[in-house]
């Protein structure tokens, strides 16, 4: 039987909500790509990660439907798990997209990732945060990789967001790091993102072609 840790990434300050992430520290237990994909689908989390080398912080990321070269929620969760397992925070994560810088800022874990390797989320602005709250799904079925958002407080950079990702085997993503990164890059400013049912994501533009995402992590 394969051991799986489950952490919640992008919780609120009290440790509530957040997006579940499956973590397989012993990736050698499931070395085959197809078996990893099947296992991730069976777990059903938005993403599951498989470590191939814990010391080097090297891992693969799978949604229930496909492998991703990079995603924000798994990267933030991986950095937190490695700090817990090794007793020191990594400086770099190694994923299919290449090396990803990571750091700690108080209780928040941050990563800087390449936008070219992040999933291609479409962003659509709604008229109000209340309109985002009332959503029961995407506006149309074709929105299978879409972030619907509205300003809650534009001056303060606070955004209300829901993300729908059927393309990746996720009907609704409770807290999507890569979509948050793309939104911060598109708006050109730091954002506090109220995501899903109560998750909290921090995001900001990075160097050209990069963006940064951060938040709190707890273990279930």
Name the architecture of domain 117-219: Roll (3.10)
Number of neighbours of residue 124 by Cβ within 10 angstroms: 12
In contact, 189 and 205? CB cutoff 8 Å:
yes
Residues 6+ apart with CB under 8 A from 70: 61, 95, 96, 97, 100, 113, 114, 117, 118, 178
Tell me which residues of the chain have a pLDDT lower than 70.
none
Q: Find the angle CA(23)-CA(114)-CA(213) to the nearest 5 degrees.
A: 60
Intervals of CATH 3.10.310.10 along the chain? 5-104, 117-219
Q: What per-residue confidence (pLDDT) applies to 2?
A: 87
The CATH superfamily assigned to 5-104 is Diaminopimelate Epimerase; Chain A, domain 1 (3.10.310.10)
Would you list the DSSP string of the chain? ----EEEEEEE-TTS---EEEEEES-GGGS--HHHHHHHHHHH--SEEEEEEETTTTEEEEE-SS-EES--HHHHHHHHHHHHHHHSS--SEEEETTEEEEEEEETTEEEEEEEGGGS---EEEE-S-HHHHHT-SS-SSTT-SSEEEEEEEETTTTEEEEEEEEGGGTEEEESS-HHHHHHHHHHHTS-EEEEETTTEEEEEEE-STTEEEEEEEEEE-
> Could you tell me the pTM of the whole model?
0.97
Residues linked to residue 54 through DSSP beta bridges, in sequence order: none
d(CA 73, CA 90): 16
Render pLDDT for 52-93 as a digit per residue (tens, 0 to 9): 999 999 999 999 999 999 999 999 999 999 999 999 999 999
208: how many CB neighbours lie within 10 A of its CB? 7
């Amino acid at each position: 039987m394969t051991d799986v840790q489950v952490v919640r990434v992008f919780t609120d300050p009290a440790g509530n909500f957040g997006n579940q992430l499956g973590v397989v520290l012993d990736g050698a237990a499931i070395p085959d790509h197809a078996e990893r994909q099947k296992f991730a689908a069976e777990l059903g989390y938005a993403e599951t990660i498989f470590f191939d080398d814990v010391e080097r912080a090297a891992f693969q990321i799978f949604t229930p439907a496909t492998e991703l070269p990079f995603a924000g929620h798994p990267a933030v969760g991986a950095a937190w798990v490695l700090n817990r397992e090794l007793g020191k925070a990594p400086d770099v994560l190694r994923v299919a997209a290449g090396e990803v810088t990571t750091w700690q800022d108080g209780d928040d874990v941050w990563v800087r990732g390449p936008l070219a390797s992040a999933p291609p989320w479409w962003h659509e602005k709604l008229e109000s945060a209340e309109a985002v709250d009332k959503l029961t799904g995407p506006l149309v079925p074709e929105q299978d990789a879409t972030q619907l958002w509205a300003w809650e407080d534009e001056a303060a950079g606070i955004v209300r967001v829901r993300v729908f990702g059927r393309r990746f085997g996720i009907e609704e993503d409770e807290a999507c790091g890569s979509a948050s990164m793309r939104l911060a890059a598109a708006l050109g400013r730091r954002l506090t993102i109220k995501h899903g049912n109560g998750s909290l994501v921090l995001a900001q533009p990075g160097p050209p072609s990069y963006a940064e995402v951060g938040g709190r992590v707890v273990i279930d």
